[in-house]
Chain A
C-alpha cells in the first residue's frame, strides 16, 4: 500500500491509524493490569491459605514466620486483622513507626499539657513529613504498640470515642484535681472557658470535665446556653 494519499481521504486515514494505535496502547495497558491483578489475586489466595494454616497451629507467641507473613500482607495492601490478630500482634512496620512517633511526639505532647487528640497528632506528623505520609490506619495501629513496647506514650480512648495520646507520666488524677479546683474558684465552667484558662483544646477540656463528672467530682447544668460544669455540691454539701 502506498502511503501517498492526498486530500481529505489521506487525512482521514492518518487519523484512523492514530486512533488504532492509541486503542492498542490502552488495551495493552489494561491487559497488563489484568495480568498484574491476576498475580496479586494468587498472592491473596496464598496468604489466606497461610492464615488458615497458622490458625490450625494456634501459636500465641510472636514467631518470626508470622512477623514475616504480616510484612507480606502489608506490602500487598491486604489487612486481614481478624485472622492475623491472634498470630502476632501488629506488624514490624507499625512497631518501628511507633518508636519513631514516640521520639517525635514526646516534646510537643509535653508542651500541650501531656495530652493530645489523635487527629492533632495526625496533622502534626503528616505536616512534618511532607512525603511518604501516614494513613490514619497506620497511625492508629502504631499507637496501639506504645504500651507493648514500653514507650513513654499511651493511646487512650474516651467514652465518647475520642482517641488521644497522652504521656504515661501524665497523671489523670492530678488533671482532675486541677479541673475541680478551677471549678470551685470560678463557680462553674464550660469546656470552652476551661480550654482558654489552661490552654488546651476544647475537645480535651471537655474530656477533662467529663472525667471529673465520671469520678463524681463535678456535675452538669444543661440549658439553652449550653453545658456548664459545677463542682459536685450534691456530694460535698450536706443534705438539707
Chain B
C-alpha cells in the first residue's frame, strides 16, 4: 500500500466502471444507482489517495480526468457530481469548506480512523 503511493502519477489504475459509459449517467433505477454511487465514492477516494490530494474544488474537478473520460467522451454532469459528493459526505469522507459547496476536504480515512 505504501509503495503504491510512491508510484508515478500515471500509474493510477482505473476501475472497469471508468470505461463503461453508463457510469457517467445517473441511473434512474434506485438499486442500480446505489451500486453506481458506491463505485464512484471508492473511485474518488482511491484517486485522491493515490495522488495524495486532500481538497477538491468543484469547478476545477469537473474538467479533471477523474470525472471526465476523454477516451469514451463522457463526463459526469454537475448534478450527478454533487450527488456523489453528498454520498461521500454522508459516509464521513467529505467536509464542505464553504456554504456554497464549492470547495471541500476529501478524507480517504474518516476522522475516526486517523
By a beta-carbon cutoff of 8 Å, the part of chain A in contact with chain B is 188, 213-214, 216, 219-223, 228, 230, 232-235, 237, 239-240
Contacts and interface: CB of A to CB of B under 8 A. Distances in A.
Nearest to B15: A240
19 contacts: A213-B28, A213-B32, A219-B25, A219-B36, A220-B28, A221-B22, A222-B25, A223-B24, A223-B25, A230-B22, A233-B16, A233-B20, A234-B27, A234-B32, A234-B35, A234-B36, A237-B16, A239-B35, A240-B15
4 shortest interchain CB distances as A-B pairs: A221-B21, A234-B35, A219-B22, A222-B25
Contacts of A237: 16
A153 B51 CA distance: 61
A219 B27 CA distance: 7
A235 B35 CA distance: 7
Contacts of B100: none
B16 to A, nearest CB: 7
Given A233-B20, A234-B32, A237-B16, A221 B39 contact: no
A19 B27 CA distance: 73
Interface residues of B, number: 20
A188 to B, nearest CB: 8
Contact of B25 (A214, A216, A220): A220
A117 B77 CA distance: 34
Contact of A221 (B16, B25, B38, B42): B25
Contacts of B31: 216, 235
Given A237-B16, A239-B39, A219 B32 contact: yes
B91 to A, nearest CB: 15
B74 A223 contact: yes
A179 to B, nearest CB: 15
A139 to B, nearest CB: 31
Contacts of A213: 28-29, 32
Contact of B24 (A188, A216, A221, A235): A221
Given A220-B22, A221-B22, A228-B21, A234 B28 contact: no
